[in-house]
Amino acid sequence: MASSTKSFFMALFILGVWASQAMGRTLQEVSMSDRHEQWMSRYGRTYKDASEKELRFKIFKDNVEFIESFNNAGDRSYKLSVNEFADQTNVEFKARRNRFMPTQTTELRDTSFMYENVTVPSSMDWRKKGI
């Protein structure tokens, strides 16, 4: 009888630990979702549909996790923080800062090199060309 009671409490303990870990991940995810909503409100960000919002949330979450891990390392003389660019990938951020707005088609398009079939001599004496 004592053995079955001990087994019951052990199983209950294991289920409790498992449930708390599962809830911890869910609460953390909800917390990140709340942070994203607050961030969207602060910077006036809206998305055209739910799929774009889901994509931007994933990017936001990845960026926030990077920022937090960078700051927790503690070996830098500066800290990173979340700003209005937190829902952009590095490629998007660089493109917008350089005034080039990539689209899905330009990023995914298979472009070939313009001079791929041109043969070039291994050396050239430009003096013979008058240069």
Residue 99 is predicted with a pLDDT of: 76
Q: How do residues 5-20 score in pLDDT, each as one tens digit?
A: 666 666 555 656 555 5
Structure tokens at 33: 């979702």
Mark residue 16 as left, alpha or beta (left: phi above 0; alpha: psi -120 to 50; beta: remaining): alpha
Residue 25 is predicted with a pLDDT of: 46
Rounded Cα distance between 114 and 58, Å, is: 36
Contact assessment for residue 64 and residue 82, using Cβ atoms and an 8 Å cutoff: yes
For residues 64-83, b (16+ Cβ closer than 10 Å) or e, as one string? beebeeeeeeeeeeeeeebe
Structure tokens at 131: 């240069």
Looking at the chain, how many residues does it have?
A: 131
pTM (whole model) above 0.85: no
Residue 23 is predicted with a pLDDT of: 52
Residue 96 is predicted with a pLDDT of: 85
Which segments of the chain have a pLDDT < 70?
A: 1-30, 100-114
Contact assessment for residue 107 and residue 113, using Cβ atoms and an 8 Å cutoff: no
Residue 122 is predicted with a pLDDT of: 84
- Start-end of H helices in 2-98: 2-43, 50-73, 90-97
Q: If you compute the radius of gyration of the chain from its CA atoms, what whole number of angstroms results?
A: 27
For the chain, list the domains and their CATH numbers.
Answer: 2-118 (1.10.287.2250)
